[in-house]
Amino acid sequence: MTLAADERVAPVGPARRLLIRPELGAVVGLVVVFAFFAVQSPVFRSPDGIANWLDPAATLGIMAVAVALLMIGGEFDLSAGVLTGTSGLILVTLATRYGFNVWLAMLVGLVVALGVGYANGLIVTRTRLPSFIVTLGTFLMLQGVNLGVTKAITGTVQVSGLRRASGFEGANALLAGTIQIGGTSFRVAILWWILVTAVATWVLMRSRAGNWIFAVGGNEQAARAVGVPAARTKIALFMTTAFAAWLVGSILALRYTSVQANIGIGQEFIYIIAAVIGGCLLTGGYGSAIGAALGAVIFGMADKGIVFLGWDADWFMFFLGAMLLLATLANRLVRRYAEEVKH
Amino acid sequence: MILETRGIGKSFGSVLALREVSMGVEAGRVTCVLGDNGAGKSTLIKILAGVHQHDTGELLVDGKEVRFAGPRDALDRGIATVYQDLAMIPLMSVWRNFFLGSEPRKGLAFDVARARKVAREELRAMGIDIRDVDQPVGTLSGGERQSVAIARAVYFGARVLILDEPTSALGVKQAGVVLRYIARARDRGLGVVFITHNPHHAYPVGDRFLLLNRGTSLGEYGKADITTEELTALMAGGAELEALAHELERE
């Protein structure tokens, strides 16, 4: 068997090895999109321009990376977008209406967010219902709570005035400040995004938990049969997504010092799209954190690039859909090509 | 006897899936479990593997009565199961699959370098020549997948290896390869439980043969007490087969 098999296997070169990486589609997309905007707009390729489009990439990227881990683990979280709003609303409401210190208000927000993530994970693993449905339920419930509670407390659909709360300066500097690099000021969120991506990549590729994440997404029953704690892994993934939502919600609340009650709605699909562009399979078991981070950069570029070129911002949505289709097709072609070689 | 059942039984609601089945597994011996579809083979191995708990009878490990809390419990006692369809995760590499659930650690991290090296060495020691341990398991042939799963169980110190229909989806040559690995695991001192519905696969490697029919045992035979033909006849329910032969002749 083995002798015959050896003869039938073509040598696999380094180029083909590279093609097997899930990030490939995102890297190609990144280069193409960057070239497209950079050629036409000098501002886009200037350090200030780069700082400008890295900013939306960072907040989206933190979420996309967490969502990518969850998708590799075989689940979706549609409540992730609204949860950023919930976390921000809790922070601003407690700090401005109930006299909480900003740090303490953030801690409460974290506990609530992790609680929602835990509930999502528990319901999905206990009932074996599709996470798409379960988190759609939490999504709608949170959307209602965000609006209902905000209206009941403030009489309007936003809470504001975080700047006057105690502890604001420190928290703002840590999560929403800027840093100077070579005369250009970059948002601190970019550092958090890089940190989250690095940690997520390490966990995926170099930790036992990473092996479990790929396994529960690839074939949950098989994973369980060899002793992988499948339910715990999935619950931890939902809580990771919730943690990311809390981080992003807090960053945005501290930056703008006010939160709209309807913030984050619709974002959940953008996270998923960024993760898919980054090479995640919708069916789970395959993907990359770096890919998702790169997918977020593509969005950041398009978001700001369209403005730099003076186009109508409505075109962003068209671009979003086109990128998703292209990336999915490219990923499929690449994967097929890579697997054909291996047979 | 490493593993033994005495009059074991299991029911699901009103269905009696298994009744009064007794069998034993010795070190360095192969116990074959034979039976047609619906004979209770899967229920029996799921009890042995800790997936299901038995309702009646006794389950003994090293002569002591036990009740497994789950698959992990059975694994910790040295009872490893290789399932036919869910032995491996196709999108993951060979070495990731090899160590899944029992990853070697280096500090907090998964010791990736060691995992790769050990996987390559262990596969070679079992005589399995995998081209590249980085390739996804999905690109291996069915026989190769079974072989990797067997090598994995052997490496992790399994004393009893339960193989669920490892040859049934394979061609003649591939089945032969898997049978060779079963013999090699046996020679390394493991007790093997080999579930199959093919007497021609069971007879050459088997030492004892447990026959199941409609959830109950038709008896456990030593190799000296039975021939391939008798095995086949018993499995199909001898009388029924003769009647069928008559019927077909007349047409």
Q: Nearest by CB to B89, which of A206, A207, A215?
A: A215
Q: What is the ipTM of this complex?
A: 0.83
**CB-based contact A286 B91, cutoff 8 Å:** yes
Q: Nearest by CB to A342, which of B100, B139, B174?
A: B139
pLDDT tens, position by position, A132-155: 999 999 999 999 999 999 999 999
Give the chain A residue nearest B51 (alpha carbons): A225
**Displacement of CA B111 from its chain's centroid (Å):** 29
Q: Nearest by CB to A218, which of B92, B128, B173?
A: B92
Name chain B contacts of A214, Cβ cutoff 8 Å: 89, 91-92, 96
Q: What is the per-residue pLDDT for B71? A: 82
Work out the end-to-end distance of chain A between its first and last CA atoms, rounded to an integer number of angstroms. Answer: 14
Q: Is the pLDDT of residue B227 over 90?
A: no
Name chain B contacts of A223, Cβ cutoff 8 Å: 89, 100-101
What architecture (CATH level 2) is domain B3-89+158-250? Answer: 3-Layer(aba) Sandwich (3.40)
As a whole number of angstroms, the distance between CA A53 and CA A48 comes to 9
Tell whether A224 lies on the interface with B, counting CB pairs under 8 A: yes
For A309, other C-beta atoms within 10 Å of its C-beta total: 14
- pLDDT-derived band at A7 (thresholds 50, 70, 90) equals very low
pLDDT tens, position by position, B122-153: 888 777 777 788 888 888 877 788 888 888 88
Give the chain A residue nearest B50 (alpha carbons): A225
User: All domains of chain A, ordered by start, with CATH?
Assistant: 22-342 (1.10.3470)
Instruction: Please state the φ and ψ torsions of residue B106, each to the nearest 5 degrees.
Output: -135, 100
Q: Is the pLDDT of residue A11 over 90?
A: no
Mutation choice for A interface testing from B68, B72, B92, B114 by most A CBs within 10 A:
B92
**Displacement of CA B5 from its chain's centroid (Å):** 16
- pLDDT-derived band at A4 (thresholds 50, 70, 90) equals very low
For B16, other C-beta atoms within 10 Å of its C-beta total: 18
pLDDT tens, position by position, A324-335: 888 788 777 766
CB A136 within 8 A of CB A78: yes
Tokens 């019927």 sit on residue: B247
Tell whether B40 lies on the interface with A, counting CB pairs under 8 A: no
Q: What is the per-residue pLDDT for A5? A: 42
Q: What percent of chain A has pLDDT over 90?
A: 73
Tell whether B92 lies on the interface with A, counting CB pairs under 8 A: yes
DSSP letter at B140 equals S
For the entire predicted model, the pTM comes to 0.83
Name chain A contacts of B174, Cβ cutoff 8 Å: 1
In the beta sheet, which residues pair with residue A186?
A179
- pLDDT-derived band at B171 (thresholds 50, 70, 90) equals confident
Q: What average pLDDT score do residues B185-190 get?
A: 88
Q: Nearest by CB to B88, which of A222, A227, A285?
A: A222
In the beta sheet, which residues pair with residue B30?
B192
pLDDT tens, position by position, A261-317: 999 999 999 999 999 999 898 889 999 999 999 999 999 999 899 989 888 888 888
Q: Is the pLDDT of residue B26 over 70?
A: yes
A331 CA to chain B: closest CA distance, Å?
A: 15
A112 CA to chain B: closest CA distance, Å?
A: 29
Mutation choice for B interface testing from A3, A211, A335 by most B CBs within 10 A:
A211
Tell whether A10 lies on the interface with B, counting CB pairs under 8 A: no
User: Does A211 or B88 have the greater pLDDT score?
Assistant: A211
Q: What is the per-residue pLDDT for B127? A: 74
User: Lowest-pLDDT range, A3-17, A35-49, A170-184?
Assistant: A3-17
Give the chain A residue nearest B103 (alpha carbons): A208
pLDDT tens, position by position, A73-100: 999 999 999 999 999 999 999 999 999 9
Give the chain B residue nearest A6 (alpha carbons): B131
As a whole number of angstroms, the distance between CA B45 and CA B194 comes to 10
- pLDDT-derived band at A20 (thresholds 50, 70, 90) equals low
**CB-based contact A207 B110, cutoff 8 Å:** yes
Q: What average pLDDT score do residues A48-59 get?
A: 94
As a whole number of angstroms, the distance between CA A87 and CA A145 comes to 12
Q: What percent of chain A has pLDDT over 70?
A: 91
Q: Nearest by CB to B87, which of A206, A222, A339?
A: A222
Buried b / exposed e across A209-218, counting CB within 10 Å, b at 16+?
A: bbbbbbbbbb
C-alpha distances in angstroms, A182 versus A51, A292, B102, B198?
A: 12, 28, 48, 74
